[in-house]
Amino acid sequence: MQTRSSPFRPRGGRPAARPRTTARLTAAALMTAALLVSACSPGSSSIRPSSAASTRPDAAAAPVLAPLPRAIPAALTPYYTQRLQWRDCGAPGFQCATMKAPLDYARPGAGDVRLAVTRKAATGSARPLGSLLVNPGGPGGSAVDYLQQYAGLGYPAEVRARYDMVAMDPRGVARSEPVECLGDRQMDTYTQTDVTPDDRAEEDAAVAADEKFARACGAHSARLLRHVSTVEVARDMDVLRAALGDAKLNYVGASYGTFLGATYAGLFPSRVGRVVLDGALDPSLDSRTVNLEQARGFETAFQAFTEDCVRRADCPLGGSGTTPRQAADHLRSFFRKLDGHPVPAGDRDGRKLGEALATTGVIAAMYDEGAWSRLRAALTSATKGDGAALLALSDSYYERDADGHYSNLMMANNAVNCLDLPPAFTGPRQVEQARTAFEKASPVFGEGLAWSSLNCAYWPVRATGEPHRITARGAAPIVVVGTVRDPATPYRWAQSLAHQLTSGHLLTYDGDGHTAFLRGSNCVDSAIGTYLLHGTPPPPGKRCS
């Protein structure tokens, strides 16, 4: 299996079928929920008490993220009082500006980063509610693109009427001094690396691919790599809040964006306004646990897909009477065939559909049940020797355009995840030891997710974060949204985060796909809309379908 990424990309991850919020999660298919930078991170807040162990799944044992002092340090005053120079940009009604933030919050005079910001003014005449910052996830997803291409028009009209819609590309992402690593052709090679190795030579090749990626990032982005942590981005968000003239931060974050929002709440609880965390990550988990639980999440999503698929005449994994296990066996057999004999995909750069890209294509469709029909058609074509449709799904996951150019999504994803948490594994022998557990969690995707979790082992910068809890004591009510069969951010994570937050309110969506807001549930959309407009969180135990 393959998805060359760190454990995060619940891609944040846009759905294959329509623009959506994303996050890139665990190793392999989705980047790992990069969880926080600890006290040893320059300029970060402290995490108390300190913890020697970085691998404990017991949330109660994890240290607590401590808030920063309310008073703004004098050295940061120029950043907090800066005036943004807005100009028209993008689609009609949007403006853009560049905000400065210190590269290193511990040394504000040592250089700045320039961050891209966009906004769309409130459309109504009623009393405005301030700014609403949005983030679609990743880490590595462009919030500026998300707002200009989707949220700026796709959010409920009542919300857009009362709020200035705002987005900022996090440091290292897209327009905000992007992390740079491999070139486009090198990325093509990297995304096709076999992460279900059959022998020692293929194991060595998988390791070499991760080592090459890490070296390239170190060579091309040395200045940034130590300063793209989630804590630093959360601090940038507070600078933006002040520059916008808001006393409190109103925020909607999806997938990895929930980790950003929760971190902000932990650091600045008194400045929390109305905050929605959709498709939540659990910051108390270590990287290996995140990856393992995400493997279970994708297996759950795949079982839901197969149960739907075998009831349909066009299902390529078996017809009526086929069990989900048999359907999974069909898919694994297809992957094994592609491992030795890739099929043509009509790609002008000569790429064929092999096991790695095919697996990524299937995973991409798991983010949104609206993509299931597209996946059935793509698998049908691929089994007949035409891999173009499944390759297109994979390219959408990696943000590779028709000209063969990659966004910096994967580069930023690794940079953030590998800084926020110690690596899941430090070498291939640890992967081998953990393979059985991963394959038990997901017979279809487990092995590939285990090997993809090795990506941070060779990173040129040591991780500064550790697993921790976020309580945000004193914050206003925070709404945490969890989807029962979410593949990238398992429902249990939303339950855990809502429990950790002293003002957390859990909203449950009994459905499929990644995240819940604006994905077809009137119940979810109404509950969140009421909260954003009136400040009233969902009642305890609120459940939607």
Domain presence at residue 491: no
Active-site residue set: 255, 486, 514
- pLDDT at 7 (0 to 100): 36
Strand 163-168 to strand 112-120: parallel, antiparallel, or no bridges (unpaired)? antiparallel
Angle at CA of residue 170, ends 39 and 407, nearest 5°? 125
Report the mean per-residue pLDDT for the chain: 89
Q: What is the reported pTM?
A: 0.90
Strand order in the sheet with 163-168: 87-88, 94-102, 112-120, 163-168, 130-135, 249-254, 272-278, 478-485, 504-512, 543-544
More confident: 57 or 259: 259
Domain presence at residue 161: yes
Report the C-alpha gap between 508 and 505 in whole angstroms: 10
Which residues does 394 contact at the CB level (< 8 Å), separation at least 6? Answer: 191, 357, 358, 360, 361, 364
Q: CB of 235 within 8 A of CB of 45?
A: no
Q: Which of 288, 236, 242 is nearest to 456 (CA)?
A: 288
pLDDT band at 58 (very low <50, low <70, confident <90, very high): low
> Has residue 415 got a pLDDT over 50?
yes
pLDDT band at 31 (very low <50, low <70, confident <90, very high): very low
Strand 504-512 to strand 478-485: parallel, antiparallel, or no bridges (unpaired)? parallel
More confident: 325 or 459: 459
Domain presence at residue 102: yes
Tell me the mean pLDDT in the region 513-530: 96
Q: What are the pLDDT digits (tens) for 168-199?
A: 999 999 999 999 999 999 999 999 999 999 99
276 membership: H or E segment, kind and range = strand 272-278
Which residues does 525 contact at the CB level (< 8 Å), separation at least 6? Answer: 156, 517, 518
Domain presence at residue 126: yes
Q: What are the pLDDT digits (tens) for 439-486?
A: 999 999 999 999 999 999 999 999 999 999 999 999 999 999 999 999
Q: What are the pLDDT digits (tens) for 266-318?
A: 999 999 999 999 999 999 999 999 999 999 999 999 999 999 999 999 999 99
Q: How far is CA 407 from CA 100, 208, 227, 377, 515, in A?
A: 23, 23, 20, 27, 23
Q: What are the pLDDT digits (tens) for 89-145?
A: 988 999 999 999 999 999 998 999 999 999 999 999 888 999 999 999 999 999 999
Tell me the mean pLDDT in the region 385-406: 97
Structural domain containing residue 29: 1-254+283-469
Report the C-alpha gap between 164 and 489 in whole angstroms: 29
Q: What are the pLDDT digits (tens) for 423-439?
A: 999 999 999 999 999 99
Give the chain's end-to-end CA distance (angstroms, integer).
32
Write phi, then psi, for 48 (nearest 5 degrees): -120, 145
Which residues does 402 contact at the CB level (< 8 Å), separation at least 6? Answer: none
Q: Which residue has the tokens 């906004």?
A: 119
Two tokens at 34?
């990069």
Overall domain count for the chain: 1
- pLDDT at 298 (0 to 100): 95
- pLDDT at 9 (0 to 100): 40
- pLDDT at 56 (0 to 100): 40
